[in-house]
Amino acid sequence: MTSARGIRWGLVSFPLVLMGLMPMPARAETRQASVGNYWFEDDATGDRTSIVVNQGDQLTFTIREGIYPPHTVDVDELDIHSPDLLLGATYTTPPLKTLGTFKLYCRPHEQRGHVTTLAVRATTPTTSAPQPEPQPESQASTPTTTGAGQPPVVEGSQPAPPAPEPATPAPQPASPVPPATPAPQTTPVPHAAVPDPKSATVALQAAPPAADSSAPPAPPPDDPVTATTLTPVGVGRADPESLARAPEPEPGSLDDLIGRREARGAVPWTRALRLLVVSAVPILGAAGFSLSREAGRHRAREPERGESRRGL
Amino acid sequence: MNPFALPVHAPMVHLPVALLTITWVCVIVRHVSGSARWDERTRMFEIVGVLALPVTIVTAFVDTRGFDFLTNPRFDAPLIWHMVAGLAATVFFGWHFLWRRDRRRVDLRLPATIDVGLATLGMLALMAAGLLAAEMVYAT
């Protein structure tokens, strides 16, 4: 009796355990990055040498240090070009669907070294599913798996149209989103990425995705209808509280050398006006002193003139 | 537009700033001491300082890559106010220089109030422009 009951429970729980072990594709999210003089920083890792995101993620850049000409966010290969961004502004990219490693730079300050690397990698499983055998690394590419039943993708290759997915509501972004932006409409997240068949470096290890003949043809990757947008794309305004965190100065930079402290307030540069009021005191004092001396001499000359007039 | 890919306004602006600051000091010393010999020194410093102003303004527009930023100026950013303050300094010192020249031409005495007043207003505008420039250079 007991053994039969155990078998029944086993039959019921075994598929559940298997489902739990199935690797689920990672959810797209809006990642946060900071921009300063003259660096880009991944807020999650603090890395200024590269920003790594998963395919389908969006990136929100927050300007934490301003300068003129203002910073911009530019990735030529992904056709991302922000307008000028002042201190406290944010810029959110569209979902990053093209795999590869790209040059992320600030247009006005590129020649000053305001450049870093943006790596868009294939989505990785989020559960503790058995990892596939490591693939032999190619010098030109690094294949990575995208999940069960999906072929590896190669950095630098163009993604294929995203496979249609069940209507799963898009998740909330893990990182904070600027509250000034309205709650976005979410659509299913495309996770699948199929390597470019023309790419000679692709090592196909897994079976190709199961093609459902009844499914509608997959739309092109740039189809705006299927683009997952967790956060409104474009320029926004950062939460003032998030700006309260002073960024670490770039090692060896002028900020680092002089230990300059950031101004606080909605319009930090009004600090200049306060300094002007202070510095105007000695200037006006010197001017007033010189005028008083001139007036003193003038008064001293008046009796002499009066005497000379009387003498005449 | 800028073949050097480096700011050219910043290295140039020191010349009029230094000369016009010395001009203001000469005006103050002239009226404190009462010695007319400071008038000639004031004139020498001011003429070079005022002549350096157009060069400084031109280099500023080289750095901003033209006049596009004036079509939709950002009044919440220091650049436009730096420009306004610099323009005010130019006007005050230019006016001071021309007024002094005209007064000397007809051999009239220099009223101290106008002499010190114009130079001091120019100095304050110069100070404002400098502080706003510091906010831009050292990044708030």
Reported ipTM: the value is: 0.84
**Confidence band, pLDDT 50/70/90 cuts, at residue A151:** very low
Q: Chain A residues with CB inside 8 Å of B112's CB? A: 290-291, 294-295
Out of B29, B76, B119, whose CB is closest to A267? B76
Residues 6+ apart with CB under 8 A from A68: B64, B77, B78, B79, B136
Which residue type is seen at A177? V
| Cβ-defined contact of A255 to B139 (cutoff 8 Å) | yes
B71/A contact by beta carbon, under 8 A: no
Q: What pLDDT score does B89 carry?
A: 95
CA distance A97 to A55: 5
Select from A37, A283, A294 the Cβ nearest to the Cβ of B127.
Answer: A283
Of all residues in chain B, the one with the smallest CA distance to A265 is B140
CB contact under 8 A, B128 and A287: no
Is A254 in Cβ contact with B32 (below 8 Å)?
no
pLDDT of residue B79: 83
Please tell me the distance from the alpha carbon of residue A287 to that of residue A185, in angstroms, as a whole number: 63
| Contact between A290 and B132 using a beta-carbon 8 Å cutoff | no
φ/ψ of residue A122, rounded to 5? -70, 150
CA distances for A215 relative to A111, A136, A149, A218, angstroms = 49, 34, 17, 8
pLDDT over 70 at B53, yes or no: yes
pLDDT digits 0-9 by tens, A216-239: 444 444 444 345 677 888 898 888
Answer yes or no: is pLDDT of A183 > 70. Answer: no
Grade residue B81 by pLDDT with cuts at 50, 70 and 90.
confident
- Is A289 close to B79, i.e. CB distance below 8 A? no
Report the mean per-residue pLDDT for chain A. 67
Give yes or no for residue B127 having a pLDDT over 90: yes
Of the pLDDT bands very low, low, confident and very high (cuts 50, 70, 90), residue A2 is: low
Chain A contact set for B38 (CB, 8 A): none
Determine the average pLDDT of the residues in A168-196. Answer: 39
Report yes or no: B127 at the A interface, CB cutoff 8 Å: yes
The alpha-carbon gap from B122 to the nearest alpha carbon of chain A, in Å, equals: 11
Q: Is the pLDDT of residue B138 over 70?
A: no
Judge residue A107's burial from the number of C-beta atoms within 10 Å of its C-beta, 0-12 exposed, 13-18 middle, 19 or more buried. Answer: middle
Q: Of residues A180 and A244, which shows the higher confidence score?
A: A244
Residue B79 touches chain A, beta carbons under 8 Å:
yes
pLDDT at B134: 83
Using a CB-CB cut-off of 8 Å, the residues of chain A touching B31 are: 290-291, 293-294
Q: Do A272 and B138 touch (CB under 8 A)?
A: no
Angle at A122 (CA atoms; ends A116, A126), nearest 5 degrees: 115
Q: How far apart are CA B120 and CA A35, in angstroms?
A: 40
Cβ atoms B49, B23 nearer than 8 A:
yes
pLDDT at A198: 37
pLDDT of residue A67: 76
Interchain proximity A275–B131, CB inside 8 Å: yes
Nearest to B116 among A262, A269, A290 (CB): A290
A285, exposed or middle or buried, with CB in 10 Å at 0-12, 13-18, 19+?
A: exposed
When comparing pLDDT for A141 and A124, which is higher?
A: A124
Q: Do B77 and A269 make contact, defined as CB atoms within 8 angstroms?
A: yes
* pLDDT exceeds 60 at position A129: no
Distance from the Cα of A287 to chain B's closest Cα (Å) equals 6
φ, ψ of residue A125 in degrees (nearest 5): -60, 150
pLDDT at A69: 78
pLDDT band at B4 (very low <50, low <70, confident <90, very high): low
d(CA B23, CA B41): 8
Paired strand residues for A31? A59
Residues in chain A closer than 8 A to B78 (CB atoms): 68, 269, 272
* Residue A85 contacts residue A61 (beta carbons within 8 Å): yes
Share of chain A above pLDDT 90, in %: 25
Average of pLDDT values for A41-55?
A: 91
DSSP at B125: H
Question: How close A289 gets to chain B, by Cα (Å)?
Answer: 7
Q: What is the pLDDT of residue A288?
A: 94
Tally of CA atoms within 13 A in the half-sphere of A116 that contains its CB: 21
Per-residue pLDDT tens digits for A84-119 = 998 889 999 999 999 999 999 999 888 888 999 999
Q: In Å, how far is B48's CA from the nearest CA of chain A? A: 22
**Band (B29; pLDDT cuts 50, 70, 90):** very high
What integer pLDDT is reported at residue A6 of this predicted model?
A: 65
Chain A contact for B78 (CB, 8 A cutoff):
yes
The DSSP secondary structure of chain A, one letter per residue, reads -HHHHHHHHHHHHHHHHHHHHSPPBPPP-EEEEEEETTEEEETTT--SSEEEEETT-EEEEEE-S--SSPB--EETTTTEE---B-TTEEEEPPP--S-EEEEEE-TTTGGGT-EEEEEEE---B-S-PPPPPPPPPPSS---B--STT---B-TTSPPPPPPP---PPPPPPSS---TTSPPPP--PPP------TT-TT----SPPPPP-TTSPPPPPTT-TTT---SS-SEEEE--HHHHTSPPPPPTTSHHHHHTPPPP-SSSTTHHHHHHHHHHHHHHHHHHHHHHHHHHHHHHHHHHHHHHHHHH-
A49-89 tens-digit pLDDT: 999 999 999 999 999 887 777 899 999 999 999 999 988 89
Task: Tell me the pLDDT band of A156, cut-offs 50, 70 and 90.
Answer: very low
**What is the 3-state composition of chain B as percent helix, strand, coil, each rounded to the nearest 5?**
80, 0, 20
Query: Which residues from chain B sit within 8 angstroms of residue A263, using beta carbons?
Result: 135, 140
With beta carbons less than 8 A apart as the criterion, state whether B112 and A291 touch: yes
Per-residue confidence at B105, pLDDT binned at 50, 70, 90?
low
Q: Which of B79, B116, B128 sits opposite A287 (nearest CB)?
A: B116
Nearest-Cα distance to chain B for A66, in Å, is 5
pLDDT for the residue A197: 38
Task: Please report the residues numbered 80 through 119 in chain B whose beta carbons come closer than 8 angstroms to any beta carbon of chain A.
Answer: 112-113, 116-117, 119
Which chain A residues are closer than 8 Å to B114 by Cβ? none
Q: Would you call A294 and B112 a contact, using CB atoms and an 8 Å cutoff?
A: yes
Taking the C-alpha atoms of residue A269 and residue B139, their distance in angstroms, rounded to an integer, is: 9
Residue of A nearest to B75 (CA): A267
User: B47 pLDDT exceeds 70?
Assistant: yes
